[in-house]
Amino acid sequence: MVDPGLVVVDKSPGMTSHDVVARVRRLAGTRKVGHAGTLDPMATGVLVLGVDRATRLLGHLMLTEKSYDATIRLGVATTTDDAEGEVLETRAVDAVDPEAVRAELARFVGDIEQVPTAVSAIKVDGKRAYARVRDGEQVELKARPVTVHELVVHEVALPDVRISVRCSSGTYIRAIARDLGAALGVGGHLTALRRTAVGSFDLSLARTLEQLGEDFAVVPIAAAARATFPGVDLDDEQAAHVRFGRALDLALPDDGPHAVFAPGGEFLALYERRGDQARPVAVFV
């Protein structure tokens, strides 16, 4: 079995996130594998998986920002807001002004309220929204606050629009495609989506499943923690307290989780500031 850490997969199209987890379980020789946020079967790119006790890092990783490259097709609305759904409506895009496309996309940047796509994994009365849609139910989800940090328009070659997005976790790029089409009065859906980064883990670290089958590359848990959270190096006495989950008289530099390390570099825990002390969020030893 491999050492605990993160595996950064470059997911191929047509696979579910569960398919990837199942394959990595076989490669790692353990069932203790999880992922930090799903990717739709149509989507490709960065899928971060945790192996062994590193799976406990995943819940914190899911809160980090993500980056995507996407292609939107205007003039066609679908049931899933992407190319895998059934066509609901088709409209001509001849009268759409490319500058109007850019102007509407600029409105998505910042803190916005976004209605998730109906076929999302959000639970409605204990059942996934996509499962309700699949069973023929009408699903209406409430708008949620999300943040689009940056949206770059690379090309407007109607009916297609190529963009890159850097956004908060929970942002649906399919919903941006849908809402852009609605704002322009012609409908729209996503035809391609590639996740280029999850937090600090980007495509430069990602490996396809075929590559991992030849060389199973794992980001060690200590390196993963340093890459994701502000790091604090402790002395021996402080490290001993952390091993028992005790609070520390330690002034952390920022809000939010900090990765704390023993003098030899061993990753011990995530701590956060509470009043004048640092208290444990999760202990990994």
Rg over CA atoms, the chain = 21
**40 included as an active-site residue:** yes
Assigned token pair, 174: 């399919």
End-to-end CA distance of the chain: 18
Cβ-Cβ contacts under 8 Å for 135 (sequence gap 6 or more): none
In the block, which residue shows the tokens 């199209």? 13
With beta carbons less than 8 A apart as the criterion, state whether 36 and 50 touch.
Answer: yes
Q: Collect all residues with Cβ–Cβ distance below 8 Å to 36 and sequence separation of at least 6.
A: 48, 49, 50, 58, 59, 61, 62, 198
Choosing from 40, 81, 82, 179, which is the catalytic residue?
40
Nearest to 118 by CA among 151, 82, 146: 82
Which residues, in sequence order, are bridge partners of residue 6? Answer: 50, 219
Give the Cα separation of 87 and 94 in Å (integer): 19
Active-site annotation, residues: 40
